Structure formats: C-alpha cells, structure tokens
Amino acid sequence: MSDAGLIVIGNEVLAGRVEEQNAKFLIGRLRQIGVVLRRIVFLRDDVHAIAREVRTMAIELEHVFTSGGIGSTHDDVTLRGVAEAFDLGLESHPQLEAALRARYPDASPATLRLAIVPTGAELVETGMASFPLVRVRNVYVFPGVPEFFQSKWLAVESRFQSTPFCGYALYLKVGEEEIADLLSDIDRTFEDVEFGSYPRFDRSDYKVKITLQSKVPIRLEAALLALKAQFPDGWLLKEEPC
C-alpha cells in the first residue's frame, strides 16, 4: 500500500505567526489518489532535527514530503537538513542556476543560493525558478508558501497515483457505547477494511457515524453486509458512499 509522511518546517508555523495550510491540503489530495498518510511532523528551522526526521521517514515510508524552508535567508535550512540526512554534500544545480539567471539577469549571490541543493538531487519541476521542486531519493522538497506548494503538488500529483479508496458512511441513532464491542469484533475480522466511529453530542439527527474504507471493493462490500447484520432494527438511519 502506497504511503507517505509530511514534514512541515518553520519557526513561524510553530510560533503561530502564520496559518499552516499545506497539511490540510495534502491530507485531502493524498486520500483522493489512494496514498495513506502515516505521519505529519512539525519542526523548527533546525538542520539536525530535520535530518533526523527525514532519515527516519525515508526508511519507513514510500514517499516523504517537506514543506517550507527553501528560500535564501538564514533560516531556510531544509535542503541542508535533507543533505545531512543522507550524508550528501551541497552543490549548485546547473539547470536550476541557469533558470535563475534567466529569470533574474542581475541575480545576487543570495538569489543564486536558491540553486544549491543536495548532491545528485533531481530537479522535478521548476515553474517559478525561485521555488523549485527537487527530489532527493524518495524525499520531495516543496516550498512552504501555500500558493506555491499547491501549484507544485498539482503539477506532479500524477506520479504518486495509487489504487483509490472506496467507502461507506453509516449514520446510527445509538451512541458509541452500544456499538463499540461489535465494531471491535468486525474490525478484527476485516483487517483490509478501515473502520472509523465519530459520535455527535449535539441535537443532530444521528448519534454516531461509522465509516468503512478499503482499496478492495469486494472486501468492503462483505464488511458492510457483516456490520449491518449486527444492527437491530431501527439502529441504521442512513447509508451513503463516501
């Protein structure tokens, strides 16, 4: 099963000076294309902390995405952290440097620092040369500005496409305490189906929503039938695909 992790980097995010939007965006997009998001980590602009997390995720997960810290100021250290994670040096990428010089004929040394990437990094997508998308092994380094993060993601999303999820939502008139045991039993029976339970405590027309999701349609349908068979008459209010 294709899976991924996201590392959001930036002192400003953890200090609440900016509203983080990229995690929410990526959660939705990955689910749509069938990739399981296993972990989201928020880090300060710390080279060694970035290196540790990148190294761990790169071993455990198929894809790793980072957000933020790729500008030209002192606190933009993400690429240094990625290089350290894999014991790589840093070098100016010829294609990226050329793109920067074409965009900025009088490019300053600070501007040209944007072309410095871990040795052997692949330039995946340039778009705006100031915010390239580079890949180091299975790690994709995205800009943190939401507008740029999202445009870069949509440009490369197809390379991560996996088997899509399918699912159902069931709305019940009883609370979680009445369905907890039977839900635990059926969860053990259908290991290839993911079950979720979401109670409501307001005066809604239902008390709990149960979700079922899987990449195997035949198993999803079997789990749905098995679960509904456990409900006494009157429990199930509504059923819909999700």
Read off the pLDDT of residues 200-224 as tens digits, 9 standing for 90 and up.
988 778 999 999 999 999 999 999 9
163 in Cβ contact with 86 (< 8 Å): no
- 166-241, what's its fold? Alpha-Beta Plaits (3.30.70)
Percent of the chain with pLDDT over 70: 98
CB atoms within 10 A of CB 162: 17
Q: pLDDT tens for residues 33-50? A: 999 999 999 999 999 999
Q: Which CATH superfamily is domain 3-160 in?
A: MoaB/Mog-like domain (3.40.980.10)
Average per-residue pLDDT in the chain? 93
Question: Residue 116's pLDDT band (boundaries 50, 70, 90)?
Answer: very high
What is the number of other CB atoms lying within 10 angstroms of the CB of residue 42? 15
CB 117 within 8 A of CB 90: yes
pTM for the full predicted model: 0.90
Of 92, 63, 98, 62, the closest CA to residue 79 belongs to 92
Which has more confidence, 241 or 126?
Answer: 241
> Rounded mean pLDDT of 10-28?
95
- Where do the structural domains in the chain lie, given as residue ranges? 3-160, 166-241
pLDDT band at 127 (very low <50, low <70, confident <90, very high): low
Taking the CA atoms of residue 7, residue 11, residue 17 and residue 21 in that order, the dihedral angle to the nearest 10 degrees is: -10
Query: One fold for both 3-160 and 166-241?
Result: no
